[in-house]
Amino acid sequence: MRKIEHIGIAVKDLKNANETYTKLYGKPPYKEERVESEGVATAFFQVGENKIELLEGTNDDSPISKYIAKRGEGIHHIAYDVSDIESERQRLIDEGFEAIGGIRKGADNKLVCFFHPKSTHGVLLELCQDRPE
């Protein structure tokens, strides 16, 4: 893992949250993107060297909608940048971390995969690797 790539925050209403975070940072998100396969609408803010991802569920079955129904809005995951997502995912599985699904296309031109919070002391973990457009 090379660095924290971004922190994901689950929000009920992306439009409303975008307004809040635009005020907070003094600039709008650099990207907004829906990932229908994951049931999410996302917005990304650049904060110096760091990124914040806001996520809204696009349907009731979306993991984000379920998360908010259960736990309310808040920090949803921490994403780590990796150079080789396949080998890093396998390394974590070999170390006993519990993968959720396989590697797939995520927002912001990334390949992503996730590990269950119960294997990481309560924080959903995302690995992401840049993918060419």
- Closest distance of CB 7 from Zn ion, Å: 8
The reply on whether position 40 binds Zn ion by CB under 5 A is no
Candidates 79, 109, 69; CA nearest to 8 is: 79
Phi-psi group of 96: left, alpha or beta (phi > 0 → left; psi -120 to 50 → alpha; rest → beta):
left
Distance CA 75, CA 102 (A): 22
Position 8 contacts Zn ion (CB under 5 A) = yes
Q: How far is the CB of 55 from Zn ion (least distance, A)?
A: 7
Site track 44-73 with Zn ion (rule: CB under 5 A), x = hit? ---------x--------------------
Distance in Å from the first CA to the final CA of the chain: 22
Contact call for residue 79 and Zn ion (CB under 5 A): yes
Which residues of the chain form contacts with Zn ion (CB under 5 A)? Answer: 8, 53, 79, 126
